Amino acid sequence: MADKRRTDPHAPVLVIGLGRFGAATAEELTMQGREVLAIEKDPTLVQKWSSLVTHVVEADATDPEALRQLGAQDFSAAVVGVGTSIESSVLITVNLVDLEVPHIWVKAITAPHGKILRRIGANHIIFPEHDAGVRAAHLVNGRMLDFIEFDDDFAIVKMHPPTEVVGFTLTESDVRAKYGVTVVGVKTPGEDFTYAQKDTKVGPRDTLIVSGHTDLIERFAARP
């Protein structure tokens, strides 16, 4: 039996709104080989993205009949990138919920906006500005190269190695016991990432993939 919590990785995706967030999402999905139907009411944006996204249609998604005629009800996943108008965002989301689209991702500007979206049935809320700010805050110390945080304060980061682990194997430096984090992968310049093993030796120019509780990763990354 199919898991309704998951989307078909090959199914077409409906993207509504071709502002910066929606356009980036639609373009990336297209590059991944997904079929995308993008709906945008601004004719200038429709023309701009028509050659870069699978299908782009000029329409007003706040009109439920327009969505129905475009076949929105046949999609299993939709992304609402409209954020500047909270009213439009809410109306579009309500329309998609009424059309029984199973998976709806919606861009939210504020926490109250996200709360409203959840109450009306959006099951995936995205806060791109907030998330980017949190990520930037973790990157400014200079050692972290990338940062992904999950809801339960668990994070995965790409970072430069602290000096005290350089020249030692992971068994010798005993990172997990000392700092409570796990080195998942190691990349040496000119080589691909490899899964970290007990006998993996960390070099001064290596890049580490480290997982663990956010606070513990911060402490590990703050080591000189």
State pLDDT tens for residues 33-53.
Answer: 999 999 999 999 999 999 999
Looking at 108, 126, 144, which one is the last position of a domain? 126
The total number of structural domains in the chain stands at 2
Which element (helix H / strand E) includes 48?
Answer: helix 43-49
Q: What pLDDT does residue 47 have?
A: 95
Residue 224: what pLDDT? 85
Pick the last residue of a domain from 126, 141, 175.
126
Does 119 lie in the same domain as 27?
A: yes
Verify that 188 and 139 share a domain, yes or no: yes
Does residue 155 share a domain with residue 57?
Answer: no
Whether 74 and 118 map to the same domain: the answer is yes
* Structural domain ending residue among the three candidates 109, 126, 143: 126
Q: Are residues 121 and 136 in the same domain?
A: no
Q: Give residue 112's domain range.
A: 13-126
Whether 78 and 182 map to the same domain: the answer is no
Same domain, 120 and 17: yes
- Type of residue found at 158: K
pLDDT value for 142: 63
Q: Is residue 7 part of a domain?
A: no
Q: Does 5 fall in a domain?
A: no
Please indicate, yes or no, whether residues 65 and 103 belong to a single structural domain of this protein.
yes
Report how far residue 110's alpha carbon sits from residue 130's, in angstroms, rounded to the nearest whole number. Answer: 9
In a domain, 173, yes or no: yes
CA distance 153 to 215: 8
Which string of DSSP letters, residue by residue, matches 115-180? HHHHHHT-SEEE-HHHHHHHHHHHHTTSSEEEEEE-TTSEEEEEEPPPGGGTTSBHHHHTHHHHHS
Write down the pLDDT at residue 1.
35
Query: Which segments of the chain have a pLDDT < 50?
Result: 1-3
Strand 13-16 relative to strand 144-149, pairing: unpaired
Q: What is the pLDDT of residue 66?
A: 96
Q: Based on the fold, state whether residues 119 and 137 are members of the same structural domain.
A: no
Q: What angle do CA 93, 97, 98 make, to 5 degrees?
A: 115
H or E element in which residue 112 lies: helix 111-120
Q: Is 139 in the same domain as 106?
A: no
Task: Give pLDDT, residue 5.
Answer: 55
